[in-house]
Amino acid sequence: MYISSVASFLLYCLMPVLIANTTTKNLATQAAIKACRKFNSTTSPPDPACWEILRVDIWMSNWNVSTTRCSATQDLLQPCQCMFEEAWATCFMRLTFEENRSADYYCTDVTMPKNCTEPLPGHIVQGPAEIYYGAYSIWNLVQYLGNWNIALTSASALPAIETALQNPNSAASANTLLTALMNQYGMDSTLFSYFSAVVTENVVDAGNQVRPTSANAQVLLGELLKSNLEAITSQWETGGFTLLSGSGMLLNNTGETSQILTARLSHQ
């Protein structure tokens, strides 16, 4: 009885502190949410922490589930939003930029990253902040893989590729060659580790059936990057985009421009 009374007394004494801590935490959370929702044209790139704070992953998943898709006999004048066989990422970017027809929103082709316009606050449609964070993540994914495609298919990459091909583990397939090169010459080890999981799952037939050589390696690498971007931006249900965008990874600036990657590959 005595112990119970002491415990009750201590709990009574601590209650104001617990309430104050909870209140402080709630206020801090509300302030963080408000900050993530209040941005302007000077706040690009966005804060990666906002991805988790706003739970953008859940918002985009709901968008993919709730957005209507046209059938082969429908058009956009009927009650559907995504065009027939349109990639989810292209649909998302097109709807994001529907008030800015000067924008290009084709963000599924790794060979043409410039066709995916960078989303900037103030240049996207009015709506929740999640639109901006989602669009920026799509754009940054295209730039990330597009820059690797430019670098790996350039003549400057040949020495690095030749060196990697001398390792039996790296030369086993296009998959292993790509991950070996990205691991050695990349700058964002975290994003690479998640992409390596995705590229392993989205296996390209050529990557498994044709062993890379000096003559075909660059073609195989380009095909592998191309097919993976198409899969990630077209097939939401595979979870590739969700994995890569987790914790706001695609809101970070990797610093891996095509020029920097080309320079790193040429100095192997």
Give the model confidence (pLDDT) of 97-129 as tens digits: 766 666 677 889 999 888 888 887 767 777 788
CA distances from 204 to 57, 174, 207 (A): 27, 9, 5
Q: What is the DSSP letter of 44?
A: -
Reported as a single tens digit per residue, the pLDDT across 179-219 is 999 999 999 999 999 999 888 655 444 445 678 999 999 99
pLDDT over 60 (residue 76): no
29/141 Cα distance (integer angstroms): 28
Confidence label for 44 from pLDDT (cuts 50, 70 and 90): low
157 within some domain: yes
pLDDT score of 265 more than 90: yes
pLDDT digits (tens, 9 = 90+) for 160-170: 999 999 999 99
pLDDT given at position 165: 96
255 pLDDT band, cuts 50/70/90, is: confident
Domain interval for residue 181: 140-266
Q: Which two tokens stand for residue 68?
A: 């209507």
Query: Tokens 């935490």 map to which residue?
Result: 25
State how many domains the chain has.
1
Share above pLDDT 90 across residues of the chain, in percent, rounded to a whole number: 49
What radius of gyration do the chain's Cα atoms show? 23
Answer yes or no: is 4 within a domain: no
Q: Are residues 180 and 148 in contact, defined by beta-carbon separation less than 8 angstroms?
A: no
pLDDT at 49 over 60: yes
Rounded average pLDDT over 208-232: 90
Question: Helices (DSSP H) in the chain: which residue ranges?
Answer: 2-37, 49-53, 56-66, 88-96, 130-152, 158-165, 174-185, 189-201, 205-209, 217-234, 240-245, 258-266
Lowest mean pLDDT among 7-11, 88-92, 202-206, 263-267: 202-206
Is 34 a member of any domain? no
Residue 19 is predicted with a pLDDT of 54
Say if 260 falls within a structural domain. Answer: yes
In a domain, 63, yes or no: no
Tokens of 48: 């990666």
